């Protein structure tokens, strides 16, 4: 196991697989087909106690980068994390406890909301706003959602009809509207109900798959 550091990308196998995977991906082949091909090409790594963990961590990372993380790769990663087999291997290879602590996997989260959800919330001025969820994540360190902010600024909870008629808010700098920069806010799964500084109190999530 040629190891360059404690990050999942800091080993020789990851570097080799990365070239193989993305050379194919850049030709237009989908990530799932590539994964199947790479798995077939690397039986030796899959059957190696030293390389199998690095192999699956790499494949899951590549799929995630392509927004195509499948259940097989996710299940393998969860198994590695829960069994602590990767950490045990590092101990067998006489790694320092400092490196083992650095290697230990962080907890991953799904986004709170799904792409297409519409949420209503209280603004700082005590009025109501609404946003469309335009991005979601599965099993990442932050579980990010991206919110496309509408221009709703209502004294009462907006109706579905009002939300459909709403416009997108745009970024303003020096009192000048930047038409090319719609206002999008990112917020992670761990921030809901924990980070009180985000000024986002969710009132309703009832309008699913609303498109403006």
Give the rounded distance of the alpha carbon of 115 from its chain centre: 13
Exposure string (b/e) for 162-171, b if CB count within 10 Å is 16 or more? ebeebeebee
Judged on CB neighbours under 10 Å (0-12, 13-18, 19+), 105 is: middle
Q: Are 59 and 41 in contact (CB under 8 A)?
A: no
The tens digit of pLDDT for each residue in 145-203 reads 888 889 999 999 888 888 888 998 887 665 665 556 788 888 877 665 433 344 444 54
pLDDT band at 205 (very low <50, low <70, confident <90, very high): very low
Q: Look at residues 34, 32, 3 and name the one whose alpha carbon lies nearest to residue 20.
A: 34
Three-class SS state of 77: helix
The tens digit of pLDDT for each residue in 86-143 reads 776 667 666 666 666 666 666 677 888 888 888 888 887 888 889 988 888 887 767 8
The tens digit of pLDDT for each residue in 2-60 reads 555 667 777 888 899 999 999 998 888 999 999 999 999 998 888 877 788 889 989 99
């Amino acid at each position: 196991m040629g190891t360059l550091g404690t990050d999942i990308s800091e080993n020789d196998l990851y570097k080799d697989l990365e070239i193989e995977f993305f050379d194919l991906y850049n030709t237009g082949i989908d990530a799932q087909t590539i994964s199947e091909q790479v798995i077939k090409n690397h039986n030796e790594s899959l059957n190696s106690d030293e390389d199998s963990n690095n192999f699956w961590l790499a494949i899951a990372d590549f799929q995630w980068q392509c927004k195509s993380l499948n259940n097989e790769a996710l299940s393998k990663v969860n198994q590695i994390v829960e069994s602590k087999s990767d950490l045990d291997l590092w101990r067998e290879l006489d790694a320092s406890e400092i490196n083992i602590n650095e290697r230990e996997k962080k907890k991953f989260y799904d986004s709170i909301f799904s792409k297409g959800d519409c949420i209503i919330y209280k603004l700082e001025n005590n009025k109501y706003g609404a946003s469309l969820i335009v991005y979601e994540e599965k099993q990442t360190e932050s579980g990010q959602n991206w919110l496309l902010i509408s221009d709703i600024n209502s004294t009462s909870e907006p109706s579905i009809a009002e939300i459909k008629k709403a416009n997108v808010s745009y970024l303003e700098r020096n009192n000048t509207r930047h038409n090319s920069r719609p206002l999008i806010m990112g917020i992670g799964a761990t921030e809901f109900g924990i980070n009180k500084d985000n000024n986002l109190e969710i009132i309703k999530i009832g309008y699913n798959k609303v498109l403006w």
